[in-house]
Amino acid sequence: MSSATAPSRPVPRPGVQAIEAYVPGKAQAGAGVKVHKLSANENPLGASPKAIEAFRDAAALEFYPDGSSTKLRAAIAAAYGLDPARIVCGTGSDELLMLTALAFAGPGDEVLYSQYGFLVYRIAALAAGATPVIAPETDLTTDVDALLAAVTEKTRVVFLANPNNPTGTYLPFDEIKRLQKGLPPHVLLALDAAYAEYVRRNDYEAGIELVATSPNVVMLRTFSKIHGLAALRVGWMYGPAEIIDAINRIRGAFNVSAPGLAAAVAAIEDASHVERAIAHNDQWLPWMTAALTGLGLTVTPSVTNFVLVHFPEAPGKTARDADAFLMERGLILRRMDSYGLPGALRLTIGTQEANELLVATLTEFMGSAGHGA
Ligand SMILES: Cc1ncc(COP(=O)(O)O)c(C=O)c1O
């Protein structure tokens, strides 16, 4: 049967074509130079040796994994004192962000997030057929009042990364509570805590307690950052039973691979590796911030394992020029054009070698006579 108005070929749902595909951090640089990838907030210490061993031992590739991630949920629950029935694991937290939008928002609904919020929120909203709504930030930091002012009767989901990527800024726990209190009860607040382990502040809490006691709050976490398992794609979400149930209904039946599950269990049990990664970051984040500031660059204060660096607009000294200069020398940073911050680059805290090389190279760049690379 054909209709005069039907398109002549399959057409994606409205919204899908409005998505600009996520552009990951680059991984290649100038020919013949040693590459330091500082573009994706990965752990410079790598994964725990125990996780690598568990990964190698999980090479029975002919078998489907445990579709319920039972052992991993138990290990996460033990580590954080949670109810394993209220945890769902995913193919990275990216998958769980997408599923959250799909399960709770659709055409006619709005998905709200803040101006420099993680790019996947927009993709998830549009993929679900919903309308993305953006609340302005103040000083590159989420503004709770702006978020609350943007809530309408159509709002279904609020995505909030705390700390946020790419800015590295965070909201104290009191502000998160104020946001939750101000939202209508049917609006789901999805707290994306991908970098929670790096935050060493008295006024920051991962918000787990808020999730445990609120019917409309979930928290997303990842094994890609501090645990150094980005290649394996493992994330998890903790929330009210009804919300976890909805995600379980629409996720892939075997959405976390067996090697991913095995490595993640070993990673979460290896608290000393996490401590080493935190100690490394605690040493190099202030060092990097001070060194770049000393070069006359503006650095947004970060509580994470990356910093946003703002470059001058002078020809030869721009973020674009710096990126090209660094890339030639094997240092790969992240351009921020897609976030509407073309004057900035984001860099991940790396190994000692990478950090020192970066500062030496930027010293050369800033000192050079204004013709960039
Ligand atoms: C804020 C934030 N949330 C979620 C993710 C997705 O992490 P993954 O899918 O690797 O778990 C990232 C990755 O960069 C992130 O920065």
| pLDDT tens for each residue of 181-199 | 999 999 999 999 999 999 9
Choose the weakest-confidence range: 10-24, 46-60, 238-252. Answer: 10-24
How far out from the chain centre does Cα 48 lie?
20
Mean pLDDT (whole number) for 171-182: 96
The verdict on the CB of residue 117 being under 6 Å from ligand 1 is no
For residue 66, the CA-to-ligand 1 centroid distance in Å is 23
Query: How open is the CA angle 89-92-98, to the nearest 5 degrees?
Result: 90
- Looking at residue 373, its pLDDT comes to 40
The verdict on the CB of residue 325 being under 6 Å from ligand 1 is no
- Looking at residue 2, its pLDDT comes to 57
For residue 220, the CA-to-ligand 1 centroid distance in Å is 9
Query: In 348-371, which positions are buried (b, 16+ CB within 10 angstroms) versus exposed (e)?
Result: bbbeeebbebbbebbeebbeeeee
Q: Of all protein residues, whose CA lies closest to atom 7 belonging to ligand 1?
A: 93
Condensed to tens digits (0 to 9), the pLDDT of residues 281-335 reads 999 999 999 999 999 999 999 999 999 999 999 999 999 999 999 999 999 999 9
Q: Check pLDDT > 70 for residue 3.
A: no
List of residues 6+ apart from 202 with CB closer than 8 A: none
The verdict on the CB of residue 165 being under 6 Å from ligand 1 is yes
Mean pLDDT (whole number) for 176-182: 97
- Of ligand 1's listed atoms, the one at least distance from the Cα of 118 is 1
31 or 121, which is more confident? 121
For residue 219, the CA-to-ligand 1 centroid distance in Å is 13
- Of ligand 1's listed atoms, the one at least distance from the Cα of 223 is 11
* Residue from 192, 251, 304 whose mutation best tests the ligand 1 pocket (most atoms within 8 A of CB): 192
Condensed to tens digits (0 to 9), the pLDDT of residues 246-277 reads 999 999 999 999 999 999 999 999 999 999 99
The verdict on the CB of residue 192 being under 6 Å from ligand 1 is yes
The verdict on the CB of residue 230 being under 6 Å from ligand 1 is yes
- Looking at residue 283, its pLDDT comes to 98
The confidence band for 201, taking pLDDT boundaries of 50, 70 and 90, is confident
Q: DSSP letter string over 207-237?
A: SHHHHHH-TTEEEEEESSSTT--GGG--EEE
- Looking at residue 238, its pLDDT comes to 98
Q: Check pLDDT > 70 for residue 1.
A: no
- Of ligand 1's listed atoms, the one at least distance from the Cα of 41 is 14
Q: Check pLDDT > 90 for residue 42.
A: yes
- Looking at residue 370, its pLDDT comes to 45
Q: Check pLDDT > 90 for residue 22.
A: no
- Looking at residue 207, its pLDDT comes to 82
- Looking at residue 26, its pLDDT comes to 72
33 or 65, which is more confident? 65
List of residues 6+ apart from 353 with CB closer than 8 A: 36
Return mean pLDDT, the chain: 95
Percent of the chain with pLDDT over 70: 97
Q: Is the pTM of this model over 0.85?
A: yes
- Looking at residue 24, its pLDDT comes to 77
Handedness of CA 315, 318, 322, 328 (dihedral sign): negative
Percent of the chain with pLDDT over 90: 88
Closest CA to 207 of 1, 166, 199: 199
- Looking at residue 371, its pLDDT comes to 43
For residue 32, the CA-to-ligand 1 centroid distance in Å is 31
Helix (H, G, I), strand (E, B) or coil at 37: strand
The verdict on the CB of residue 161 being under 6 Å from ligand 1 is yes
Query: Tokens standing for 214?
Result: 């609120």
- Looking at residue 23, its pLDDT comes to 77
Q: Check pLDDT > 60 for residue 372.
A: no
